[in-house]
Amino acid sequence: MELRIEGLSKTYPNGVRALDNVSLTIPCGMYGLLGPNGAGKSTLMRTLATLQEPDSGTASLGDIDVLRQKEEVRRRLGYLPQDFGVYPRISAQDMLDHIALLKGITNGRERKEIVAAMLRRCNLYDSRKKALTGFSGGMRQRFGIAQALLGSPQLLIVDEPTAGLDPGERNRFYNLLAEIGEQVIVILSTHIVEDVMDLCTNMAIIHEGKVLFQGRPEEAISELKGRVWQRSIAKAELPAFEERYKIISSRLVGGRPFIHVLSGQPLNGGFQASVPDLEDVFFVKIRGWK
């Protein structure tokens, strides 16, 4: 099964064009949707989750029309939005039981077994009777995945899922996602480059509502091979370098700017060749450089 998106467009009443003729083919596995904040990622996710309508375009999950057969989509969908609310005083076990019932799992014994299995899978079983208000950020995200996985979805959408998580929780969360992604379509919407590089076999870069790249991360990186150069400079030199070169990125290392520059020709004057990475690709694409 694959998710096919053709020509999706959406303009809000304030004139912001959130989606501009977006077309993507998303196969089974982990798929990264990479873009800066405000790029249109959340609008696309909400559209695929049947929460809002586009102005034009189509989307299909296998033979299901996502925009017209919303109930069919919802039966196959798991969705973890960027922000989600819970009843703070209810336990994780009782909340999952309630959500399972809403998802149509009406047999009490079956529902109890499914909820227990999901709590174990998401490493929450020992905290199953704890009120959700006492959960850490990582536990809340794992609970979010648990509720999204109820009903064995064929499409799982997670939108900026690691905001506020410490490195340990982030790793545990993504190990769980990677395991899930072996069997279903998982769309990971994020602005964190490392998450896509570490987890996703396929990806797209979206900016200002437009798809700038789609394919495998290593394919995007290979486009920059031999074209990225690096060096350390003094802070006072930075404006002059910005005027002269296409600076991909600049970060302080030991109090001095360390710059990556895009150039099809070798650069002298202290520059060294740099092995490109997905962060270089990201900045080059959103700046429209060739």
Strand partners, 257: 252
Query: What does the pLDDT profile of the chain (290 residues) look like in tens digits?
Result: 899 999 999 999 999 999 999 999 999 999 999 999 889 999 999 999 999 999 999 999 999 999 999 999 998 999 988 777 667 789 999 999 999 998 888 999 999 999 999 999 888 999 999 998 888 878 888 888 889 888 889 999 998 877 667 788 778 778 888 888 778 999 999 888 988 988 899 999 999 999 999 999 999 999 999 999 999 999 999 999 999 999 999 999 999 999 999 999 999 989 999 999 999 999 999 999 98
- If you write DSSP's letter for every residue of 234-253 in order, what string do you get? -GGGHHHHHHHSEEEEEEEE
pLDDT at 192: 86
Task: Name the token pair of 6.
Answer: 């053709």
CB 94 within 8 A of CB 147: no
Single-letter amino acid code for the residue at 24: L
- d(C-alpha 9, C-alpha 211), whole Å: 12
Q: Which CATH architecture has domain 3-221?
A: 3-Layer(aba) Sandwich (3.40)
Phi, psi values for residue 265, rounded to 5°: -120, 150
CB 27 within 8 A of CB 2: yes
188 contacts: CB under 8 Å, gap ≥ 6: 30, 31, 32, 33, 158, 161, 177, 195, 196, 199, 200
Domain ranges of the chain: 3-221, 223-286
Distances (CA, A) of 11 to 5, 22, 57, 223, 288: 17, 13, 13, 32, 22
Distances (CA, A) of 46 to 54, 158, 159, 198, 259: 10, 11, 9, 25, 37
- d(C-alpha 49, C-alpha 188), whole Å: 13
- DSSP helix/strand/coil, 229: strand
pLDDT at 77: 93
pLDDT at 86: 66
pLDDT at 1: 85
pLDDT at 138: 81
pTM score above 0.85: yes
Phi, psi values for residue 4, rounded to 5°: -115, 125
CB 139 within 8 A of CB 145: no
